[in-house]
Amino acid sequence: MAAVNALRTGVMRLSRRLRHQRVDESLSPTEMSVLGTLARCGSATPSELARKEHVQPPSMTRIVAMLEAKGLVRLEPHPEDRRQKTVTQTERAESMLAASREKRNAWLAELAGQLDEDEWARLAAAAPVLEKLAHS
């Protein structure tokens, strides 16, 4: 049961540091996360994205608007429901993701330096579970 405690405080503190040492200065972590989701799922409507990111629809409206303003995302009318919109990545988003993957690897290298191999393996093993938990 002590593990829950450690998990909770570890996640909270690390998220604060992640938010701060963000890989790409111009994009918030949630914006990055949305781009990642779009890269995986192709296009989606704003409310689908909101559900996937566990964010309320109005928040997603703003995030998508930001991404559109930065030219990373395109908004098109939904083919069969005129209330909805479809959000798709632009080519620019793809190249930006690629570039930031580069930086992320540098950050990783520094990070991994502080951990021994076993510790890093544990993190890697837990990462998908964290994602599952975050989504469930």
Partner DNA sequence: CGTAACTCATTACCTAGGCTAAAGAACAGC
Partner DNA sequence: GCTGTTCTTTAGCCTAGGTAATGAGTTACG
Contact status: 26 vs a second copy (CB under 8 A): no
Contact status: 25 vs a second copy (CB under 8 A): no
Q: How far is the CB of 78 from a second copy (least distance, A)?
A: 26
Q: How far is the CB of 20 from a second copy (least distance, A)?
A: 8
Q: How far is the CB of 4 from a second copy (least distance, A)?
A: 5
Instruction: Yes or no: say if 90 and 96 are a contact pair by the CB < 8 Å rule.
Output: no
What is the amino acid identity at position 132? Answer: K
Instruction: Yes or no: say if 49 and 87 are a contact pair by the CB < 8 Å rule.
Output: yes
Find the binder of a second copy among 78, 91, 115, 117 (CB under 8 A): 115
Contact status: 18 vs a second copy (CB under 8 A): yes
Q: CA 69, 27, 24 angle in degrees (round to 5)?
A: 135
Q: Which listed option, a second copy, DNA, none, makes contact with residue 46 (CB within 5 to 8 Å by class)?
A: DNA
Q: How far is the CB of 120 from DNA (least distance, A)?
A: 26
3-state helix vs strand vs coil in the chain, percent to 5: 70, 10, 20
The CA distance from 58 to 84, in Å, is 14
